Amino acid sequence: MCNKTAVLAVHGISPQQRYGIQDEFATQLCSRLNRLSSDDWGFPLPANCGGPWQASVYFPPVSPNAAVDEMRPTVVRIHKESESDIDNPGQPIIDVYEAYWSPIDKNQTKAISVLTWILRNLFVPANTAARLYAKASKTAFDLSYFVTVLLVIAALTYAIVALGTESYRHYITISAASRTSMPVPAPRSSSTLGSAKVLIKPRTIIETLPSRVIYSVALSLVAAYLVVQAFIGFIGLMWNVKRAWSDPWLALRRLFLSSAIFALGGWLLLSASNLQLGANQKVGTSAWLLAGCVFAFRTILSIGQSFLVNCFGDVQIYCTHDENSRFFVLRQDILDTVESTLAHILRTTVDGRHPLYERIVVVA
């Protein structure tokens, strides 16, 4: 194993924060090096590769060029825990550089443009601009996959209308009972979509609910959003346990934060309902209907952003003539960035004679 190795991590497709690919690659590589004895690498391991290893932020002697914005003064250095001086190591080290980061928002595609492009290419037989021939089973799978997503979006949209209307009907019923000191009657059932047309009219809202109840509904929506965000945080910790808990302290902080947000949101959710209407068993029903409505709305936003834009946005860019011509410049910038960063590393020497690294690996 070389004493000094540099890894140039190139990233330029999915949205990524600056330093994101650098930190992610270094974390995964360090974790893999610490599993040398248990993983099958397929070749004899070097004698000096034993760990344990750890990753630290390091300021390399590579001088940043003022005209080159992508060259940053920090890298992630992977070194052995027994190393006493990471600035002048006596044992093998690996420096991870980031050569390119993809903008968080490329402003190239939106959910509606991606959806329109997919519909146009799937359901217009005359479109011959780009056609991929595949087996009937593959075509059936692709179509069923896309139709399933559309059905999920339609079902969630209906859930928003149904849950929102039912929640609002509870507020009307409880508000009327609180003014007359009568027991809370069961809300009248009717066509969800039909009643929604009447219930969502501003005049109907003003006439049926006092201002304090409107404030409590607004606060309930905010509280419900906190509950949903905390629930998403819990899912993130359980979805990929191995990756989420690779850093136990970070995972515990996320768990504590999600729990605190969930507790705060739940308390605000019920408190906001009790603000005007007083304690009542129907209040809890109304509050959780609001939470269900917000959850459905948040899920639709996730599908529109994560599924459509992130999964199909780049496909649209690379397969569409007009947007491809605009995106070609960015692809060229990626290559220029990698070339410039690599040149900076290669030109840096130690004592003006020896190269800074014995080996440089470019990972894309």
pLDDT for res 282: 54
Which distant-in-sequence residues (6+ apart) come within 8 Å of 343 by Cβ? none
pLDDT for res 193: 47
pLDDT for res 277: 53
Residue with tokens 């906001």: 272
pLDDT for res 230: 86
- Write down how long the chain is: 364
Q: Which two tokens stand for residue 328?
A: 């070609």
**Per-residue model confidence as pLDDT tens for the chain (364 residues):** 678 888 988 876 666 677 788 888 898 888 888 887 666 666 677 777 777 888 888 877 765 544 444 555 678 888 888 888 878 888 888 889 887 665 544 555 666 767 677 666 665 444 545 455 556 776 677 677 778 877 887 887 787 777 767 766 766 666 666 555 554 444 454 444 454 444 445 455 445 555 656 666 777 778 878 888 888 888 877 776 777 677 788 888 888 998 998 888 888 877 766 655 554 555 556 666 667 777 777 777 776 666 666 667 666 666 665 555 556 666 677 777 788 888 888 887 777 777 888 888 988 7
**pTM tops 0.95:** no
d(CA 144, CA 65): 52
Strands 4-10 and 359-363: parallel
d(CA 114, CA 120): 10
Please give the helix or strand (H or E) that residue 360 lies within, else none.
strand 359-363
Q: Alpha carbon 305 to chain centroid distance? A: 9
CA distances from 243 to 72, 200, 238, 282 (A): 27, 44, 10, 42
